[in-house]
Amino acid sequence: MNLLLLSNSTQYGCGYLEHALDTVTAFLPANARLAFVPYALADHTTYTARVREALEPSGITVRGVHENPDPAAELAASDAVFIGGGNSFRLLDALYRTGLREAVRDAVRGGLPYMGASAGTNMAAPTLRTSNDMPIVQPPSFEALGLVPFQINPHYLDPDPASTHKGETREERLTEFLEENDVPVLGLREGSWLRVDGDRAHVRGARPARLFSRAATPRELAPDSDVSRLLTTEPRFDAPAR
C-alpha cells in the first residue's frame, strides 16, 4: 500500500497543509484527481473548498465525495484519496453509512494512494481506541480501515512539567490502552507523519515520534526512523495484561 499519514493538517504559523505541502504534492500523482472525504466536519462544502485552495495551485483537482450522489463512484474515478481531520467518531460513522469504509479499504489495498490527516490518520489504524476525540456520535463499530496493523495517536502531546492540570496525560492514557490491548501505538507529534510504501514504513517530518508498546519503556523515534517492523504486528485487542 501507498500511505501518507499526517499527524496534523494545520501547523502553528502556517496555512492549511503548508507545513507538509512539498511532501503532499510529491506523494500525489502528477495532475491527480483527488477524492476528498470531508465527513469529519459538519460543513462539507467549506471544508472541501479549503482543500482545493491549498492543493489546486499544485495542479491537483480536488473533488469532494459528497459532491457525487454516489461517493463510491467518485472514489473509483480518482487517482488518490484524502481523508481530512475533525471528529474521528463522526467520520467513521459517515464512512459506514455511505459504504466508503469498505470501498476505501479495498481501493487502497488495491494500490490507490491514501493520505490522511489527524482523524483521517486514525482511520488507517485497526480501531478508534487511541483517538483523542470525544464520541459525539456512536458509529456501528470502532473498527476503522485497518490499513496498518498497529495504532496511531495523532497530535501526540508530551507531559508539561509546569502544568497544574491534574487530568491524565496522553502517555498515561496510552499506557491504560496497553493494559487492555497488546498493540503498539505510534504517537505522532504535530509536524510529523508516517510514510508507508509497500512493506517499508518511515517516520518523517520535523519532529520525532514516540512508540508505545506493552511492558516496554516508550521509545523516541527520530525523523527518518525505519519502523517497517511495525507492519508485521499481530494486534491483540481485548487482551488484558496479566
- 114 pLDDT band, cuts 50/70/90, is very high
Question: Is residue 84 within 8 Å of 38, Cβ to Cβ?
Answer: yes
Q: Is the dihedral of CA 58, 86, 207, 237 positive or negative?
A: negative
- The string of pLDDT tens digits covering residues 37-68 is 999 999 999 999 999 999 999 999 999 999 99
Written as nine digits, the cell of 81 is 484519496
The C-alpha cell 484527481 sits at 33
Strands 114-117 and 80-83: parallel
Question: Is residue 126 helix, strand or coil?
Answer: coil
What's the chain's average pLDDT?
96
Q: Is the dihedral of CA 231, 234, 237, 241 positive or negative?
A: negative
Q: Report percent pLDDT > 90 for the chain.
A: 93
The residue ranking higher by pLDDT, 145 or 167, is 145
Question: Is residue 87 within 8 Å of 136, Cβ to Cβ?
Answer: yes
Strands 185-188 and 151-154: parallel
Q: Is the dihedral of CA 135, 153, 147, 18 positive or negative?
A: positive
Is residue 168 pLDDT above 90, yes or no? no
Q: Report percent pLDDT > 70 for the chain.
A: 100
Tell me the catalytic residues.
118, 133, 155
Q: What is the pTM of this model?
A: 0.96
Average pLDDT for residues 85-90, to the nearest whole number?
A: 98
Average pLDDT for residues 93-118, to the nearest whole number?
A: 98
Written as nine digits, the cell of 146 is 485497518
Question: Is residue 9 helix, strand or coil?
Answer: coil
Question: Is residue 141 helix, strand or coil?
Answer: coil
